[in-house]
Every structure is written in C-alpha cells, then in structure tokens.
A and B are shown apart, each in its own frame.
Chain A
Amino acid sequence: MKKFIKFLGASAITLSLGMTSALAAEELFIYNWTDYTSPDLIKKFEKETGISVTLDTFDSNETLLAKLKSGATGYDIVVPSHNFVEIFIKEGLLQEINASKLAGYENIADDFKNSFWDTGNKYTIPWMQGATSFTIDTDVYKGDIHTFDILLNPPKELQGKVGMFKSASDVISIAQIALGIPFCSEDPAEMTKVLELLKQQKTHVKIYSSDGILERLTSGDVAVHQNWSGYSIRAREKKASLAYSFPKEGVPSFADNIAVPKGAKNYDNAIKFIEFMMQPENAALQSNFAGYANGIKGSDKFFNDAMKNSPEVNPPAGTKFKFVEACSEKAIKLETKVWETLLQ
C-alpha cells in the first residue's frame, strides 16, 4: 500500500514536471474568447515563426479579469473587450507593448489609433470589432427590422419568442439606447425607466442566455434573439430568413483587443504575434473565420466573398455605432440592482 502511494506521488510529480519541461521550446500561450480564433491563422503563424501556439479559451471578460488578477496564469496574449481594457490597465494587469514602435503599426485604422480606451496603442492593438444588436426571423416578422422597438415592445407574432443575452450590461445598454439614456447612467430616475422597460419586455422573453443562440434561432425556438453580428452570419448561413438588425437608434458595439499580460513568459513571441496580426492578410484570415471586421487598413482586399457581401459586416449607410464604456462604481451598482430586480 505504502509503495503504491509512493509510486502515485512520484508519477504525479513527474507528470507536473513533464508539463513544465515542455515549456522550454519556443512557445506562445494565447487566451482568447471561445470559438474566436481562426485555426488557419494559428497554423500560418506557427509555420512562419516556428513558435508553437497553445490556445485556451474563456467565456467572459470577468473570467479573464479574475484569472489575471490571481497572478500566475502563464498566458502571453489575452483578448479583453474595449470597455475592460481600461480596467485591466488601471489594475496594472497589462504590460506595455508600445505598438507605435512596432513593424506594421501604420496599418492600424485611425479610429483605433485614437480609441478612448487606449489612445496611442500603448497596451493594445485591435483584434475584432462587431455589434451586439439582434438577429430576427423575417419569415415571422415582416416589418422594418432596424429598430429596437420590435425587440423591446414585441408585436404579437414575436411575443414569447424573444431571446436575450444573460448579461446585465449587454441587455441594459440596449434599453439605454432605445430610451435615449447614456451608457453607464448614474441617474436613478433614468435607471428606473430602464427597469420598467425591461420588466415589461420580460413578459415576452422566452429565455435569457448567451449560450446556444444559433441553435435556438435555427430551430425556430425563438424568432428574435440578441446576438453578436459574427454569429448572426452563421445563423443566416443555416437559415436564410434570419437577418441582422442595425437599429436606427444606434447599434451597441464592441471592439476586442490584443494585449500582453504582466508576467508573460514569452514576451518576445507575443510581440511577434502582434506584428503578425498587424499584417492585413493575416487580419483578413481571422475576419473570414469569425465574421467580424478588424481594425487593420487594407485587410478587406483579402476578405473572401462571403465576408465582402455579408450584410452583417456591411451595415446600411448612416448606421450609428455606439461603444459601451467602462462604467463607474456607482453605475455598475445601479446596473446590478436593475438586473437583479429584473430576474428575482
């Protein structure tokens, strides 16, 4: 028995040592959102640089935040959303990359050189950008789809067939746009209006969930669902009657960014990856996979036909994109309160 336990202990140690010794070769550990990294892109990077890439995935900015705050995670590249970049910087979790001094910086679109979350790209470069409005089945609803009204005050044919994200900020920001209230409102009266509107909408909502959206839309379980623009492409490819809405009130948008966490073991390789991603051809490769636009000038030349012609990537002229900000402590408290009251 004792011998057996010793054997187990020994093999466990060998196992964990084996894991560490494997780190000796040229490596890069990427931590990105689920189903968000083009396999072809990784293969191309590995082939060009000889660096072996390990990709892990997370499901929310909060998970990423919790992980990075805990310290020793071993990642070299992380991909936070724009409204979290500020938090990550403030918490001292990111390492400076000074992208303006790197090869290929001239390819970055001007909007992203002067973004409000990282002016001058000291810590980040853009990864993908898209919208979080909604996908709707035009077989079920025949009217004008480019308004939040049909999502928040669903007409008869959509009642009970509405799906929303399970995320306080994503749901509330839609109500805020529809009501003409600024994001991250700290005004209780305004947030009361938001709560009233969402409560009223809840009677028609079938499910609050950010998972399995594609399945619900294509099976007809719901007729309208809050959705990311990139996933809407996939939904439409399976069911042609599904269309993506760019509400005239304004489209809530996100931009995800590449950053290097503090304590990254393979900093040089991370920089190589960042320079790699600033090449239009490579950015396009990633866009073709995920169905989102990127922030690299000239990459559209390398888009495949599906991307070039997709209505989800080419919104109607005059569409207003609104980037959610990083909210203050007070605004987050109000937001959480609204969300909890809505779901209690």
Chain B
Amino acid sequence: MSNINTLDKDIKVPKHRDIRSLPGFSWFSLGFFIYLYLPLFILVIFSFNSSISATVWESFSVAWYFKAFANDDIQRAAKNSMIIAVFATLFATIFATMAALAIGRSKKIKYKSVFTGVIILPLMIPEIVTAVATLTFFSAIGLSLGLGNIIIAHTVFCIPFAYMPIRARLQGMDEGLEVAAQDLYANKSDTLRLITLPLLAPGIFSGAMLAFIISIDDFIITLMVAEAGANTLPIYIYGIVRKGITPEINAVSTILLIISIIFVTLSYWIGKKR
C-alpha cells in the first residue's frame, strides 16, 4: 500500500490529469471540518467565561477549571467512564477482530451469515430497549459486579461497531499476500502476525476508535445498568443539562478534549515513528 503512495509522490502528474483531487472536494472537506468543530469551538471558548452562563459571554476566567478539579463527583464520574470505555473497547475490539478473521478467512466455519447476523444484532435494537432488556436480564440472573455490569453491557454493543470497519477492511484485502506467505512456508500464526494483522491494522484502529466513542458517550444503557457508585460522565452531564449547562461542564469537556488530543497525537506520532 505504502509503496503505491511513494510511487505517486515521485511521479509528477500534470494538474488536469491529477485524479486524486476532484473539483470542490477539498473545499467541501474544509467546510465539513468547520461544521464538525464549530460547536466544540464555542464549547472551549465558554469554558473561559467568568459568568455562570454557558451562553452569554462576560469576561475571561479560568475559575471553572479550578472548580471542576475540585469537584469530586465529576472526577469520580470521569474515572468510571474511562475505566469502562477502555475495557469495553479492548474486549470488543479483540472479539471483533477474532470474529472478522474467522468469518473472513477460515474455511472450516459453516453458517457464516448466521454468525454475522448475531454479531451485528446489537445494532438492530434501539438503545432504550437494550437498556430495559439488559437490566431485566441482569437482575434475573443476579449479576452484580459494579462497573463490571456496565463493562459487559458496553462490550456487547460495541462489538458490531468494532466489527464493521475491520470486516470492511478485510474484505478489500488481497488474500493473495497471505496465500503467498503460506506458499513460502510461513506457518499460520506467522502469516497472521506478519501479513494479515499489519494489513488489517487501519481497520482495527478505526474499529477500536468507534467502540471507544460509543462506550464513552453511552447514556441510556448505562443509566439503566449502573449500580450504586457507578455513575458515569454522561449520566452526570445529563443531570447538569437539566438545570442548564454551566461553564464547569465546558471546562471538563475541554480537559477531556485536550487529553484526547494528546492521546491521539501520541498514537499518531508513535505510528509514524514505526
């Protein structure tokens, strides 16, 4: 894949022949990113508002950040959200990758469409129904693992989100490379490790990202399944929305945003180094 790109970079293509750019697409994308970031921009700005309003600007202040740092409830909720999202993403992505490989590559498995159906099933159910159904089920079997309950529920509905991009990626991958590797006497696990997984990596990466986003943002299912002391950030925020968002929430969101940008930049940087 990368060799194609280096190839492209080296060849000078006459402008009218450059097929990589379609007229208007770059401007359109720019517009899209503005659309994507406009609400966030407003959010960050108002986190520095001195008044309690998240909508009417008064003057610059960082007081809300101190307040947010001093707020135990927010910190507990944020910690819970992070723990849940990390574990749910890990489990979901591992399960989804295994399943995608088995369904996409294994010759031994029958009823592949049935398994696919099962895996994308959580997508077909509206969240509120999943929430009530899961709660009923958990209480019927007496499952009480604290955060574990939420991690289980999140893992289940994150699997299809992780699965879809991985499967899409696998579908477009040339099986020839793997066959060639095996022809050259690479054993199965070496083929997997050295050929399939690296090629699959972008799919796994987008899958994991999706799963994480879904988990950290989930509200209704978490609200229903959560046990005492397991409040997450969305639940806390939903409560705050009721009285009107204060810049304290903007401050927390900005902090989360900065952490995510650091995290994302770091992974980008590590990926580049390799």
Q: Is A343 an interface residue (CB 8 A)?
A: no
Q: Is A338 an interface residue (CB 8 A)?
A: no
Complex Cα gap A234–B243 (Å): 9
Q: Is B245 an interface residue (CB 8 A)?
A: yes
Q: How large is the interface on B (under 10, 10 to 19, 20 to 34, 35 or more residues)?
A: 35 or more
| A:35-65 near B, CB below 8 Å | 35, 54-59, 63
Partner pick for A54 among B228, B238, B241, CB 8 A cutoff: B228
Structural contact, A35 and B243, CB atoms closer than 8 A: yes
Structural contact, A16 and B145, CB atoms closer than 8 A: yes
Q: Which residues of A contact B115 (CB under 8 A)?
A: none
- Using known A-B contacts A72-B227, A219-B56, determine if residue A57 contacts B147 with beta carbons closer than 8 Å: no
Q: Is A210 an interface residue (CB 8 A)?
A: yes
Complex Cα gap A16–B230 (Å): 11
Complex Cα gap A72–B227 (Å): 8
From B10-18, B47-55, B258-266, the one touching the partner chain is B47-55
Q: Which residues of A contact B224 (CB under 8 A)?
A: 63, 66-67
- Using known A-B contacts A8-B90, A57-B235, determine if residue A238 contacts B52 with beta carbons closer than 8 Å: yes
Q: Is A20 an interface residue (CB 8 A)?
A: yes
Structural contact, B147 and A19, CB atoms closer than 8 A: yes
Partner pick for B231 among A35, A56, A73, A214, CB 8 A cutoff: A56
Partner pick for A56 among B83, B135, B228, B241, CB 8 A cutoff: B228
Q: Is A276 an interface residue (CB 8 A)?
A: no
Q: Is A123 an interface residue (CB 8 A)?
A: no
B148 — nearest CB in chain A belongs to which residue?
A16
Contact digits for B224-240, partner A, Cβ 8 Å, 1 yes 0 no: 10111111000110111
Partner pick for A57 among B151, B227, B230, B239, CB 8 A cutoff: B239
Q: Is A12 an interface residue (CB 8 A)?
A: yes
Smallest Cβ distance from A126 to chain B, in angstroms?
22
Smallest Cβ distance from B90 to chain A, in angstroms?
6
Structural contact, A70 and B83, CB atoms closer than 8 A: no
Structural contact, B139 and A231, CB atoms closer than 8 A: no
Structural contact, B136 and A70, CB atoms closer than 8 A: yes
Contact digits for A202-222, partner B, Cβ 8 Å, 1 yes 0 no: 000000001111110011000
Q: Is B37 an interface residue (CB 8 A)?
A: no
Q: Which residues of B contact A215 (CB under 8 A)?
A: 53-55, 244-245
Partner pick for A214 among B73, B139, B146, B243, CB 8 A cutoff: B243
Q: Is B144 an interface residue (CB 8 A)?
A: yes
Q: Is B91 an interface residue (CB 8 A)?
A: yes
Q: Is A100 an interface residue (CB 8 A)?
A: no
Complex Cα gap A35–B228 (Å): 17
Partner pick for A72 among B73, B142, B223, CB 8 A cutoff: B142
A54 — nearest CB in chain B belongs to which residue?
B229
Complex Cα gap A11–B227 (Å): 20
Q: Which residues of A contact B240 (CB under 8 A)?
A: 34-35
Q: Is A24 an interface residue (CB 8 A)?
A: no
Structural contact, A74 and B229, CB atoms closer than 8 A: yes
Q: Which residues of B contact A211 (CB under 8 A)?
A: 241-242
Q: Is B45 an interface residue (CB 8 A)?
A: no
Complex Cα gap A63–B94 (Å): 33
Structural contact, A74 and B239, CB atoms closer than 8 A: no
Partner pick for A63 among B151, B223, B245, CB 8 A cutoff: B223
Q: Is A10 an interface residue (CB 8 A)?
A: no
Q: Which residues of B contact A5 (CB under 8 A)?
A: 94
Complex Cα gap A20–B146 (Å): 7
Smallest Cβ distance from A217 to chain B, in angstroms?
9
Structural contact, A212 and B241, CB atoms closer than 8 A: yes
Complex Cα gap A75–B230 (Å): 11
Smallest Cβ distance from B75 to chain A, in angstroms?
13
Q: Which residues of B contact A58 (CB under 8 A)?
A: 223
Q: Which residues of B contact A19 (CB under 8 A)?
A: 145-148, 229
Q: Which residues of A contact B54 (CB under 8 A)?
A: 215
B98 — nearest CB in chain A belongs to which residue?
A1
Structural contact, B132 and A66, CB atoms closer than 8 A: yes
Q: Is A15 an interface residue (CB 8 A)?
A: yes
Q: Is B138 an interface residue (CB 8 A)?
A: yes
Q: Which residues of B contact A238 (CB under 8 A)?
A: 52-53
Complex Cα gap A213–B135 (Å): 30
Partner pick for B244 among A54, A67, A214, CB 8 A cutoff: A214
Structural contact, B244 and A212, CB atoms closer than 8 A: yes
Structural contact, A34 and B56, CB atoms closer than 8 A: no
Q: Which residues of B contact A29 (CB under 8 A)?
A: 228-229
Task: Write 18 A-B pairs (CB below 8 A) sorted by A numbering.
Answer: A12-B148, A19-B146, A19-B148, A29-B228, A34-B240, A35-B243, A54-B229, A56-B229, A59-B223, A63-B223, A63-B224, A66-B135, A71-B139, A72-B139, A73-B227, A74-B228, A213-B242, A219-B56
Sample of 7 more A-B contacts, CB < 8 Å, known A70-B136, A72-B144: A15-B83, A16-B146, A74-B227, A213-B242, A214-B243, A219-B56, A231-B243
List chain A positions with a Cβ less than 8 A from chain B. 5, 8, 12, 15-16, 19-20, 29, 31, 34-35, 54-59, 63, 66-67, 70-75, 210-215, 218-219, 231, 234, 238
List chain B positions with a Cβ less than 8 A from chain A. 52-56, 73, 83, 87, 90-91, 94, 132, 135-136, 138-139, 142, 144-148, 151, 223-224, 226-231, 235-236, 238-245
